[in-house]
Amino acid sequence: MATKKTLTDYESQRLENIRRNGEMIASLMLHSKASEVSDFFKRSSSKSTKYAHKIKKQKNSPPRSPLVIRRSLRTRGLPPNHSGYPSTPTDSSPFPPSPKPELSPARKREQIHINDAFLGEIAASDRPLIDVILAAAAAGADVDGGSRSKLLGDYKFDPRSSMVLKPENVGKVLPERILSVQFLPSANRTVVVVGNKLGNVGFWDLDFGMGDGNEDDSGIYVYAPHSASVSGISVHPSSVSKIFTGSYDGLVRKMDVEKETFNVTYSTENCIFSICQWSCDIDSLYIGEGAGDLKHWDERAGKVSSKWGLHEDRINSVDFSPENCYLMATSSTDGTACIWDLRRMKNHQPEQLNVVRHNRAVHSAYFSPTGNYLATTSIDDTVGIINLSHLNDTSMVHHYNQTGRWLSSFRAIWGWDDSFLFLGNMRRAVDIISITSKTTTALASPEMTSIPCRFASHPCQTGTLAGATAGGKVFVWTKS
């Protein structure tokens, strides 16, 4: 039989302490009081939660914007869009731009005096510019239909090694992005005309002050004839004193320097994307508006004499051959550039003579100085060179044209013969494409501090090239 285990003195004392402590707790009734305190805090917590919830409901919170679910064209059952990604309203976009802004009362007037549109300082005057333009108109421009191709004669001018950018030929002409650039066709004066996204038109007289003691003045004059982006500027060599500007506000204005007014020549409910005067008639203006419509405005009659639906999307450029003024080239966001014969455009949808197709939007199509070539620029990263004598002789030269939404799209222009094309470079340079070798050479300078997007070559001065940027700067290269 097992013996009973005896407790040690330590264990006996521990058990005695436990018994005594239990009697003390029971006499103080601590367990019941603890349960009462716990129930009290539970009730207080529930009341405060309900009160806070009521206050939150009564508080006026701002309405939440609805959740927008983005769906692709494929899930919506729509065909793919091949004309390119949407860009800013001032660029060649496959989608319609935003509605035209409401014009201020001053802009709705049929006529604006030059002084009312002038944005210069109070003490400044645009009288020197007016005198320069009137003098150029009186002298007559030394350029006509095909004379640009005769500027060089037998002299072979290579712009890749014969052009320089001087510090004094860099200027901030306008605020914001420049979309349009032109030179006044004057052999004795270098005047650049530019238009920006705000509706401003700027003039820069690079020869201002020479010999007059005013070398410190800038020679820059800014006007505000439009309320939206200036999409085109047209100056006919035979009528330098009348400068046409087209805008997204649906207006074509004529700056009549002789009368010192900005007149509304044409107005429409659509956005105007391109304008061009017919080289054979200074009173004929061709206007690209809306979703692919082209209209012929007769300045003498003061009305639209013809209209056609040439493209499925906006017309980005209109140009005429310098050797055959009846040949017209148009480029469109629908991915095509077309050549037309005005003598055969009788119906609403005439048949084109030739079509150049790109994979995405075509921003420009320009004839060469001799009219033997056509150059197209597309956002599909190609520059097309078409030999019009042999239509099968078409070359697509690769060029990076992804300017993004903050820069104007690149547009390749011709120089002073059929040898080279000029267009922008994303590395702050001018790319020169050789027509014969199909190679590209970058023309760089330390003075070129931003990306040039739009260009114009002087029609009367060989080697004078203007490039405009998204910041409103103009760089003028000259022959070294």
Percent of the chain exceeding pLDDT 70 equals 78
Tell me the per-residue pLDDT of 163-179, one tens digit each, with 9 for 90 and over: 999 999 999 999 999 99
Tell me the per-residue pLDDT of 106-125, one tens digit each, with 9 for 90 and over: 445 578 999 899 997 765 78
- Higher pLDDT pick, 43 / 96: 43
Residue 67 has pLDDT above 50, yes or no: yes
pLDDT at position 210? 60
pLDDT at position 105? 47
Tell me the per-residue pLDDT of 370-400, one tens digit each, with 9 for 90 and over: 999 999 999 999 999 999 988 788 899 999 9
Confidence of residue 3 (pLDDT cuts 50, 70, 90): low
Give pTM, 2 decimals: 0.76
Confidence of residue 96 (pLDDT cuts 50, 70, 90): very low
Name which of 17-21, 119-123, 319-323, 402-406 the model is least confident about: 119-123
pLDDT at position 94? 44
pLDDT at position 157? 85
Residue 338 has pLDDT above 90, yes or no: yes
What's the mean pLDDT when you consider all of the chain?
84
- What residues are paired with 246 via a beta bridge? 232, 252
pLDDT at position 55? 46
Confidence of residue 74 (pLDDT cuts 50, 70, 90): low
Tell me the per-residue pLDDT of 238-297, one tens digit each, with 9 for 90 and over: 899 999 999 999 999 999 999 999 999 999 999 999 999 998 888 999 999 999 999 999
Tell me the per-residue pLDDT of 32-53, one tens digit each, with 9 for 90 and over: 777 777 777 666 655 555 544 4
Residue 56 has pLDDT above 50, yes or no: no
pLDDT at position 139? 84
Instruction: For residue 124, count CB atoms less than 10 angstroms from its CB and return exposed for 0-12, middle for 13-18, buried for 19 or more.
Output: middle
pLDDT at position 341? 93
pLDDT at position 72? 66
Name which of 61-70, 174-183, 186-195, 222-231 the model is least confident about: 61-70
Mean pLDDT of the 353-380 span: 95
